[in-house]
Amino acid sequence: MDYTLEYFQKSVDYIRKFVPWEPEIAIVLGSFLGPFADAVEDPVVIDYADIPSFLVSTVQGHAGKLIFGTVAGRRVVCMSGRFHTYEGYDFEQLVIPIRVFRLLGAKAVILTNAAGAVNTAYKPGDVMIVSDHIKLTGASPLRGKNVDAFGPRFFDVTRMYTPELRTLARDCAAGTGLTVHEGVYMFFTGPQYETPAEIRAARLLGADAVGMSTVTEALTAAHCGMPLLCLSVMTNMAAGVLETPLTTGEVLETAERIAAPLSGYLVKIIECMKEVSL
Ligand code: HPA
């Protein structure tokens, strides 16, 4: 399948019928961060299933809706429910949302996700501003014919997690009640959680957290030259850190506990982004 400009334009043409204005910031909400959607004023909600050329969410806790509206005076589009390779999607398909947001006019991207803490100084409920990532498995989402309208065939990723937005996010952490770190996210394909040996290897390689999402969207944004901020919520200690096996229950429990303060933190960041030229 060739993902041409015309392919993405079909989604854009449909969305434009409901949302004639340009969103400035595109926000991808990780598992159970749905409550952030309540912070969106004058929302226009579009189901993924109705959008031509789009994908559908198959994961529990991922709503499958685009929410357009205003947060802290900025026009945003929120993706409530993201797509993962473990759902059966090819890496190349995972470029779709970010490219559609780009064509709609979005200038910057904020990604959020649930992750396991590899760094033993982190605790469940802590937040990590992603400074870089490690992805050693699976194809690049930019594999295949390059669409020059989005970016060049070969592209630099040394500053893909935009340093200015990381500084801004660090500055906004005070007063949120959240413990905020900065570190490296390592991608695993899932859907199984990692083995304890994989986590030890990840730690040796320099990872602070592991997860099954985000890097495809981050690389797509970097290819388009979009400023990018990524926040990972430590929903659990990664496999083997504790004696007990990992359960999805604990992952969801932490994600639910953190949803409200994290929503507040995101609103604050968006507010402060007024001071950064996008
Ligand atoms: N590993 C991978 N993905 C995750 C984890 C984890 O421990 N926790 C939440 N998402």
DSSP 204-236: HHT-SEEESSSHHHHHHHHHTT--EEEEEEEEE
List pLDDT tens digits, range 89-109: 999 999 999 999 999 999 999
Please check the confidence at residue 57 and state whether its pLDDT lies above 80: no
185: nearest Cα among 258, 264, 267, 130: 130
Q: Give the lowest-confidence range in 149-153, 170-174, 241-245.
A: 241-245
Tell me the CA–centroid distance for residue 265 and ligand 1, in Å: 22
CATH match for 5-275 among 1.10.150.310, 3.40.50.1580, 3.40.50.300, 3.40.640.10: 3.40.50.1580
Q: Which atom of ligand 1 is nearest to the CA of 236?
A: 8
pLDDT at 256: 83
Please check the confidence at residue 255 and state whether its pLDDT lies above 90: no
Tell me the CA–centroid distance for residue 194 and ligand 1, in Å: 8
pLDDT at 124: 94
Tell me the CA–centroid distance for residue 115 and ligand 1, in Å: 4
pLDDT at 200: 97
Average per-residue pLDDT in the chain?
Answer: 92
Ligand 1 mutation pick, 251, 252, 254, max ligand atoms within 8 A of CB: 251
pLDDT at 277: 66
List pLDDT tens digits, range 154-179: 999 999 999 999 999 999 999 999 99
C-alpha–C-alpha distance, residues 260 and 33, integer Å = 8
Q: What CA–CA distances, in Å, run from 163 to 26, 212, 227? A: 18, 23, 9
| CB 141, CB 219: distance < 8 Å | yes
Residue with the smallest CA separation from ligand 1 atom 10 is: 115
Q: Which atom of ligand 1 is nearest to the CA of 213?
A: 3
List pLDDT tens digits, range 184-226: 999 999 999 999 999 999 999 999 999 999 999 999 999 999 9
Average pLDDT of span 65-81? 94
Ligand 1 mutation pick, 32, 193, 230, max ligand atoms within 8 A of CB: 193
Q: Give the lowest-confidence range in 52-61, 76-85, 103-112.
A: 52-61
Q: Structure pTM? A: 0.95
Residue with the smallest CA separation from ligand 1 atom 2 is: 211
Tell me the CA–centroid distance for residue 99 and ligand 1, in Å: 26
Please check the confidence at residue 145 and state whether its pLDDT lies above 60: yes
Average pLDDT of span 216-243? 95
| CB 83, CB 1: distance < 8 Å | no
Tell me the CA–centroid distance for residue 182 and ligand 1, in Å: 17
Ligand 1 mutation pick, 31, 194, 250, max ligand atoms within 8 A of CB: 194
Please check the confidence at residue 61 and state whether its pLDDT lies above 60: no
